Structure 1
Amino acid sequence: MSTIASILSPALRRRRQITLLLLMAAGCVSYIDRAALSVSNTAVMADMHMSYTQMGLLLSVFAWAYLAGQVPTGLLADRFDSRFLLGAGLVLWSCAQMAFGLMHGIAGLFLARIGLGLGETPLFLSGTRALVRWYQPRERGRPLGLFNGSAALGPALAPPLLLAIMALWGWRGMSVAIGAASLVLAFVWIRFYRDPADLDLSVAMRKALPRSDAPVPASITQSLRADLGHLLRQRSSWVLTAGYAGVIYLTWLYATWMPAWLQTSRHLTIGQAGMLSALPQFCGFAGSVLGGVVVDRLAARGVGLLNACRAPLVLAMLVAAIATTLTTLHTPLAVMVAFMAIALFAGGLAISCGWMLGTVIAAEHRVATLQAIQNTGGSLGGALAPAITGLLADRFGSFTPSLLTAGAIGLGTVAIYQIGLRPEDVATHASLPNGQPPSRLSGTTGCNKE
């Protein structure tokens, strides 16, 4: 047990552990909801008479809606309690997922996916904000890694779970069922979660938790100028945004098209392809969890937090790009799946490390806003990956051009992070609103202590 955790009462330790578990459950369920269309897309295409291009657009519209909501939601996440903001998002995406199964026109399917994208927007922004409020900077690596890992665990659990539900109720019943499960989770979160500031704590325990950070500007205009405007003027914000677009492009290609890719390239049934795609997704979950552990270990050995996040990220994206390119070779199915597993393991590690960079570069009262900016890039990558893949598959009758494109984007991402980020980026915070500059650790740590 860490020194910080040992100061907390058993009840308080249990509360923050349950908070983390609920966030992991929400992350897992959110990606099961997202992956539902990926698992069932061939059935939906047959039922709704859709082409690969149309399905690619339907898969990508979620990400476009997710992108549109990022910055507004980031500003809200830095202003409002995670309890109700995340709870409202859970309710919205649950209703949208259930509505998807009830639609009988293509336009209705698009509207439901848009609702799903908007509803899921607060999850990782408000969830990260909650973890920042409950964990000190030097102990955030593992919880953030586990939280991000839930994004890969969901697609790993999705194929066997969703295929079993589809066998009973079809793709429509599957959508309604998982939407209802999400709604239950929404009420559990609203009922349980509390910000540390809302609890009656002793002085010692309050000191063991992150102190309440700077007051958030009272008006939207002040927020735009003091937070969003400041961050958009920082070069590092644009580096994180462009880099995360590449990370999510590569990993989201697998999340959206892997079952269909296996069906068409290896002539598997929908059940075989769905089950086989679970193994690489589990590897993605393992990589996401390991990302947080690696960052904590490197930081404990004296590596600055900037490099502790960037170095494993760069190496992981290089491996993911190479492994993705190798999947285009004419190899036995087992070898191809192994390349996919390596790519997703490395991609999962890169996602965790990339997400943690936002907590290193931004002041605590701007973490959600910076990560919203960063996730706008990620959403763009997530929107382009399925759409471009579908277009290229229709054009060339093969997924090979799409995979080569993703590999090239992965290599470009390596260059963005390696060249674009500099040691001084960790010291780019503006003064706190009360006029006092944030105290800083020595430059060798690469981290601001707010």
Structure 2
Amino acid sequence: MTNEHNRYRPARAWSIAIMLALMMLVNFLDKVVLGLVSIPMMRELHLSPTQFGLIGGSLNWLFSISAVLGGLAANRASTKWLLLLMAGSWTLLQLPMLVASSIWSIIASRVLLGAGEGPTSPVAVHALYKWFPDARRNLPVAVLHQGSALGLLVAGLSIPAITAHWGWRANFLVLSALGCLWCIAWFVFGAEGRLSSPVRTGRTARVPYALLLTDRTVLGVFAGHFAANWILAMTLTWTPTWLQQGMGYEAHVAGRMFALFVAITAPLSLGLAWLSQRLLANGVPSRVGRGGFLAVTLIVAGALIALLAWPGVSPMMKFILLTLGSGMTLAMYSIGPAMLGEVTPDSQRGGVLALSNGFSSLAGLAAPIVTGLLIDDAGRSPARGFEQASVACGVVLLGCGLLCAFCLDPQRSQRRLAGGVSGAPVPGSVADPS
């Protein structure tokens, strides 16, 4: 641990964290834009809710494959150049939306965009971990995902205004310009971190993937990530539509409500990440301070989301339940990767983070379509369809939360995986400096 802290440069590390948070801001603007232009887009292109759900889920068609390939590449290649390549692809792939006129041309554009975005989060987290020691990783990754939240906040305030003045397609030109600006800044100021973990998970250490991918902690994080991605995909794609068609808000008011949604969920997720990090700093083992903590947040979130379908709940209370439940699940995106970083050698961390993202993207594929089908099935009551989708989401969160409670135990995983590590001493031995 001493070597980590001797090489830790806080100012430079946090400057990289802020730049990567800005990258995630652009990334989530790309993700949420469809939800915020759903009404004029569906009207112009004569799309049903199921067809729009298909478009919303298409971002994830190649997401998992590209996430895994990008993560494996990050094990060996520079994360600076990988991130620049990915962000450059988003910049270019916004432009076809300026002229796309059919469902299949839009799907093709979104599928390719998803392929470019798939590795973003795992590669960005892997890049951050090269700048921060293990005990300090919760908060910078939470800040990274605050960029995502800020992107949603900016989207809720700006996209309805841009749509009202210049039409829904103009948003994609703005997104392309923002992506270009970030690429230029990252090319000039971005850099590769040099911080590695203790010898137990050092750069030369490797564990057979068959051992890693059957580990309970790794599988538990995968399950939690799947649940968090389910509600994220559902809310990004359908919350703006629900606010308009289900709750009767005008487009500009729905945009502000969505911004309020983000303004509450963002600090909530940051606060949960900080609380988990404080627990670790006070000597609480990771099994409780990270694993048990995540399990509780997912279970409570599942109960809150399922309550949206409870008879007699007022529209504003439904909005509050959705907001609090969604905000609690965002802790998964900062604490989950930290747990994977605990048990995975540096030389394989990018690949395992990507596998987690790839698996969770299956939820991103399914959730918008399931929600669209339920809204279609509800006929004249979009609100009722969204409530039914919320029950399904609550079941997913509760089930995965219980799996996390059973599976997440980094200390046990470290002991199990130590025997399979090549090129590193067993934790606790004389040769192990941790």
Q: Match of 1:50, SS?
A: coil
Unaligned runs of 5+ in 1: 198-205, 218-222, 443-447
Q: Match of 2:369? A: 387
**What letter is aligned with 1:106?**
I
TM norm structure 1: 0.87
Contact kept, 8 Å, 1:65 with 1:114, in 2: the verdict is: yes
**Which of 395, 404, 415 is 1:408 aligned to?**
395
Find out whether 1:191 has 2:172 as its counterpart: no
Q: Structure 1 residue 406: deviation in Å?
A: 0.7
Inter-CA distance 73–230: structure 2 relative to 1 (3 Å threshold): farther
Q: Match of 2:309, SS?
A: coil
Q: Structure 1 residue 362: deviation in Å?
A: 1.4
Structure with more contact order per residue of length (Cα contacts < 8 Å, sep ≥ 6): 2
Q: Structure 1 residue 231: deviation in Å?
A: 2.6
Whole-angstrom CA distance in 1 between matches of 2:215 and 2:6: 37
**Which of 283, 287, 290 is 1:309 aligned to?**
290
**Which of 272, 278, 281 is 1:297 aligned to?**
278
Contact kept, 8 Å, 2:139 with 2:334, in 1: the verdict is: no
Contact kept, 8 Å, 1:156 with 1:281, in 2: the verdict is: yes
Q: Structure 1 residue 355: deviation in Å?
A: 2.9
Whole-angstrom CA distance in 2 between matches of 1:177 and 1:449: 50
Once the two structures are superposed, what CA deviation does each residue of 1:252-297 show, in whole Å capped at 9, x if it has no partner? 2112110111212212222222221221222221132123212210
Q: Match of 1:320? A: 301
**Which of 316, 337, 345 is 1:334 aligned to?**
316
Fraction of identical pairs, as percent: 23
Q: Match of 1:61? A: 58
Q: Structure 1 residue 324: deviation in Å?
A: 1.0
Contact kept, 8 Å, 1:244 with 1:374, in 2: the verdict is: yes
Q: Match of 1:286? A: 267
Q: Match of 1:353? A: 335
Q: Match of 1:86? A: 83
Contact kept, 8 Å, 1:291 with 1:350, in 2: the verdict is: no
Q: Match of 2:168? A: 171
**Which of 36, 39, 51 is 1:39 aligned to?**
36
Inter-CA distance 449–352: structure 2 relative to 1 (3 Å threshold): farther
1:40-439 paired onto structure 2 within 5 Å: 40-197=37-194, 214-215=202-203, 228-329=209-310, 330-397=312-379, 398-422=385-409, 423-429=411-417, 435-437=423-425, 439=427
**What letter is aligned with 2:359?**
G
**What letter is aligned with 1:327?**
L
**What letter is aligned with 1:16?**
A
Q: Structure 1 residue 211: deviation in Å?
A: 7.2
Inter-CA distance 260–440: structure 2 relative to 1 (3 Å threshold): farther
Contact kept, 8 Å, 1:284 with 1:347, in 2: the verdict is: no
Q: Structure 1 residue 196: deviation in Å?
A: 3.7
Q: Match of 1:80, SS?
A: coil
Inter-CA distance 178–238: structure 2 relative to 1 (3 Å threshold): same
Unaligned runs of 5+ in 2: 380-384
Q: Structure 1 residue 210: deviation in Å?
A: 5.2
Whole-angstrom CA distance in 2 between matches of 1:449 and 1:315: 33
Contact kept, 8 Å, 2:84 with 2:187, in 1: the verdict is: yes
Contact kept, 8 Å, 1:152 with 1:288, in 2: the verdict is: no
Contact kept, 8 Å, 2:118 with 2:358, in 1: the verdict is: no
Contact kept, 8 Å, 1:312 with 1:353, in 2: the verdict is: no
Q: Match of 2:37, SS?
A: helix
Contact kept, 8 Å, 2:68 with 2:119, in 1: the verdict is: no
